[in-house]
Amino acid sequence: MTTTIYGIKACETMKKARSWLEAHGVDYAFHDYKAAGIERKKLEGWVKKVGWEKLLNRAGTTFRKLPDADKEGLDEAKAIGLMLEKPSMIKRPVLETGRDLLVGFKPEDYAAKFA
């Protein structure tokens, strides 16, 4: 099973998630979507699995700084466009383990997945 964690290197939540994986001996690849971007097809696949509402980080600074016009009338297409344009608006981490996808970091969710 290939495990990839997607996020931003400097994010504190990412650091916690990566530390958890390392402490529990989980091999993983790291994809920094702020530096390397994210493919539309990948993002659309995530949206199909968990919904754009779960992926879009509305609490983050990047989203909060958007003009009101960009925040209004949000739907799947608009949210995907925003996340592609500014990947830091994608909630993090996104952990992909073959068929499963975990969004955000909760130690109990990781423990259930890798137990």
Token pair for residue 61?
A: 């600074």
Q: CB-based contacts of 109: which residues, under 8 Å, 6+ apart?
A: 102
Token pair for residue 11?
A: 């994010």
SS (H, E, C) 47-74: HHHHCHHHHECCCCHHHHCCCHHHHCCC
Residues known to be catalytic: 11
